[in-house]
Structure 1
Amino acid sequence: TIRSRCQLIALPKPSRELALNWLESELKILLSDAARPEELEATIDEQAGAPLSARDQIVARHLGDDKDGVGLAINSTRILVEALSNGPKIGYLECAEKVQKAPYSALLVCMQRWLFDLQLSYQLGEVRYYRRHAQRISQLASQLQLTKAQRLWSTLTLARRHENHPLSTRVQMESMLLQYQQLFGD
């Protein structure tokens, strides 16, 4: 096979500034209307600094096709983040209903990144992925029960191993979101 004759080379992630500059120049070529700098920054952060993923997400968002996998994942993760920002008042049944058609893997990644930001904010007062929600994450982190958050993190990690299982996305998301709701307060 071709892969067996090739050497895999791990490339470092570009700096945030370099990624933003590349993304801006690439989007000028691909899109007739330019993306706002805030959108570029937020998308780079949400995609863990990966400029190719950020480009694909912004292009799909601007094309507005919610029926393809990328468009559906973008719309569903936006809904999920809005729901997660409600903390203990999350409407987990309603949220699971709205996002059930999205790829389960995209929803799990979104939840893991949100939970990572909550724990990071709790411990260090910083936010890595969802900087545009930093104030709300900080508020929720002050109510966070860290041991429950770590348990949910383990559950999410296990769920990632079986993310392609045919079990209903809705049922799995209801379970995860119910556990998330219980992270706050008593």
Structure 2
Amino acid sequence: MTDDKGRQAKRVAVENGVINPSGVAVMGAAPLYLALIPATTYLTKPDSIVQSLTHALIKLLPGVGTTSITSGRAIPALSALYLFWTFGASGAISAAGQAMGRAEGLDNDHPRKHVGKLEGLPLRLRSAHYALMENFPAFALAAALAQIISPTDPQIINLLGFHVIAKLLVHYPAYVSNVAVPRTFAHISATAALINICWTLAAAK
């Protein structure tokens, strides 16, 4: 009887697309998004290394300097950089990957027709691009709330900077290079930073 129930459960699982039931254990990563919030707070304190890196990143934009950072325009600057890389640079690199993945090159008439056949580096270039786009709405929400509620708070700006640094300088290269551990850690910590921002803004008095 027990064997029959086991076989029945396995059949139902397969019918629902579950080939490896033990994969459910991956859900255990969910608490990490909250567990890393204190770490992002510690790493993004005023005058931290993250703040120095964030300011250096912001100053890469022509016409943006220290005055912009201290006068409430640091968040738009970070957003401009993130927008460019997410939708511009990584999009172009993704298209190049598609071109490299086909003997005929990029099919610009039907650019998404052949994506299911991509493998290796071309697939990772596309996947890394889409991973950035999937996370951008969360950044946009946190950045918008921060700009409205607390545009000059150094820690909030540093948390946004941490997210951008983790995503663009760690997650994206790790994804393209197929290095799983730093890619995953960068994603979780970058997302934790955004949760931290919204939580901090909600709790502010």
- If the length of structure 1 is used for normalisation, what is the TM-score? 0.31
Which structure would you say has the larger Rg? 2
Q: Which has the higher helix share?
A: 2
Structure of higher RCO (CA pairs closer than 8 Å, 6+ residues apart): 2
